[in-house]
Structure 1
Amino acid sequence: MPRIDPDNGALTVFNLFNTTDTSKQDLLLEAMRGIIDGANYPGWRSSTLHSGIASPGAANYIQWRSIDDLRERYEGENFKHSTVPYFAELTTTVNLLKTEVVFVQNRDGSAQTEIGTERGDVTVIGVMGVDPKDQGTLVSLMGRPDEWMREVPGYRSHSILRGIDSDYVVNYAQWDSEESYLKFHNMPESERPEHDRAMRHRGKSLLTSREANTYQTVYSRSRPADLPDV
């Protein structure tokens, strides 16, 4: 099972797809699962596929050894002339976000978490646009241990990832149900502790945009142990 860990040195790539309806979402997930099953690219480590809940779409959480390995994959002729045009027919938007994990908090207190279908997580992926000069401040605000969050009913983990392109930050959060996440998300400010209210207020002032969706993890595959990472 793939692991989110700030110390594993992986490049994390989010492929985020929005589409118009569940039928196109099903086709998108089928196509992506086929790509994941055939993945044997140099430097590829794992792919975890997520199906949109609140809005139709899909997300692929991909771990690579390095940005050079990623570049070799996406500059390939088959990807540019076959894969990309097919996804363009099914989606309204496609985002490829290159990131690095900078912080993980787990409910049990550990600084790493696993991702996979066996866990039954409801995952929230939030992409926050930010001016490059403010990215470090936003990462520092969000990437702090928070004992209160660990006690929130339904909370499992959250991971903060810094965008390599410097103008976004990603929050990848795991919850035990959509109901528990929505209860937290819609919690009145007056019921939140002072440090959380201050962080949210300061964080919102730095954002240039924000997009989020809830997902169910539907498929995951990691590099086979007998396949060299070269």
Structure 2
Amino acid sequence: MPTVSVDAKHLTVLNLFTTDAPEKQDSLIQEMTKIVNAATYEGWMSSTVHAGVESPGTANFIQWRSGEDLEKRYAGEEFKHRTLPVFGEITTSIRLLQNEVVWTLTSEGPNTDLTICPKRGNYTVITIYKVDASNQDELIDALGPGQAGMQDAPGFRGHIVLKGLRARGLDGSFVVSYQQWENKEIYDGHVALAEEKWPEGRKKAQARIDAVALDVDSNTYEVVLTRAAGDE
């Protein structure tokens, strides 16, 4: 079962695929399942596949030992001549994001470990924030420590903030927010809560985010498959 930790210092890769039809999402998940179940790549540690809920698409949350190991995978003949062409046929966009985990939050407090697996039944929200490089640290602080009060929100389970390092399919600097909630209804209620009812910390954090974020792209997911190196 993959564990996400600030202290682990792994390279975290988030591969995001969008498509234009639910049946193509099913095809994406089938192809990703084949890859994850057969994975034996040097330095690969875990993969967790997510199915899009609000919009068709998939997300694969992958932990690698290092960037060098990932680049070996990208340079391989299988990735270049089979994996990318297959995904290219059934997607409308492909973004391969390399990140560093810089903040975690659970009901137990900040910088606590999170697990990602289908058994928990989390409703997952992944948001990509484009930002000027000079404001990346400010955005990280606003999304992370600035929103520490989120742990008291009903139905909240976990939050990971990832610092974007480099990407394929996405230009410029970015930050990723990965949130876990008990279910869709609770998350929708959190989003729909009238601003005048927000805690003061949420208001201040959102104002900081709005001041520096250049673009915001979000989708919701359910976890459908996870596998780690060494699993049978």
State the identity %.
40
Alpha carbons 1:105, 1:145 under 8 Å: kept = no
Moved more, 100-109 or 62-71: 100-109
Partner Cα separation in structure 2 for residue 18 and residue 186 of structure 1: 25
Partner Cα separation in structure 1 for residue 231 and residue 225 of structure 2: 18
Q: Structure 2 counterpart of 1:223, which letter?
A: A
For structure 1, list consecutive stretches of 5 or more residues without a partner in the other structure: none
Q: Which residue of 1 aligns with 2:118?
A: 117
The 3-state SS of whatever aligns with 1:96 is strand
Partner Cα separation in structure 1 for residue 180 and residue 214 of structure 2: 24
Q: Structure 2 counterpart of 1:27, which letter?
A: S
Partner Cα separation in structure 2 for residue 21 and residue 181 of structure 1: 24
User: Taking structure 1 as the reference length, what is the TM-score of the superposition?
Assistant: 0.95
Taking structure 1 as reference, are residues 44 and 167 closer, same or farther at Cα in structure 2, changes over 3 Å only? same
Partner Cα separation in structure 2 for residue 171 and residue 188 of structure 1: 22
Q: Structure 2 counterpart of 1:59, which letter?
A: A
* Residue 217 of structure 2 is aligned to residue 211 of structure 1: yes
Partner Cα separation in structure 2 for residue 85 and residue 209 of structure 1: 28
User: Taking structure 2 as the reference length, what is the TM-score of the superposition?
Assistant: 0.94
Alpha carbons 1:16, 1:59 under 8 Å: kept = yes
Partner Cα separation in structure 2 for residue 198 and residue 78 of structure 1: 47
Partner Cα separation in structure 2 for residue 181 and residue 23 of structure 1: 26
Tell me the matched-pair count.
226
Q: Which residue of 2 aligns with 1:220?
A: 226
Moved more, 194-203 or 51-60: 194-203
For structure 2, list consecutive stretches of 5 or more residues without a partner in the other structure: 167-171
Matching residue within 181, 186, 190 for 2:187 = 181
Q: Which residue of 1 aligns with 2:64?
A: 64
Partner Cα separation in structure 2 for residue 147 and residue 139 of structure 1: 12
Taking structure 1 as reference, are residues 185 and 61 closer, same or farther at Cα in structure 2, changes over 3 Å only? same
Taking structure 1 as reference, are residues 3 and 145 closer, same or farther at Cα in structure 2, changes over 3 Å only? farther
The 3-state SS of whatever aligns with 2:109 is coil
Partner Cα separation in structure 2 for residue 12 and residue 43 of structure 1: 12
Partner Cα separation in structure 2 for residue 146 and residue 168 of structure 1: 18
Q: Which residue of 1 aligns with 2:156?
A: 155
Q: Which residue of 2 aligns with 1:98?
A: 98
The 3-state SS of whatever aligns with 1:29 is helix
Partner Cα separation in structure 2 for residue 62 and residue 47 of structure 1: 4
1:212 Cα deviation after fit: 0.6
Q: Which residue of 2 aligns with 1:16?
A: 16
1:196 Cα deviation after fit: 1.3
Alpha carbons 1:16, 1:94 under 8 Å: kept = yes
1:148 Cα deviation after fit: 3.2
Alpha carbons 2:147, 2:201 under 8 Å: kept = no
1:75 Cα deviation after fit: 1.2
Alpha carbons 1:42, 1:69 under 8 Å: kept = yes
The 3-state SS of whatever aligns with 2:7 is coil
Q: Structure 1 counterpart of 2:213, which letter?
A: L
Partner Cα separation in structure 2 for residue 153 and residue 146 of structure 1: 14
Q: Structure 2 counterpart of 1:103, which letter?
A: W
Q: CA RMSD in A?
A: 1.4
Partner Cα separation in structure 2 for residue 20 and residue 183 of structure 1: 27
Partner Cα separation in structure 1 for residue 223 and residue 196 of structure 2: 33
Partner Cα separation in structure 1 for residue 146 and residue 20 of structure 2: 37
Partner Cα separation in structure 1 for residue 57 and residue 155 of structure 2: 24
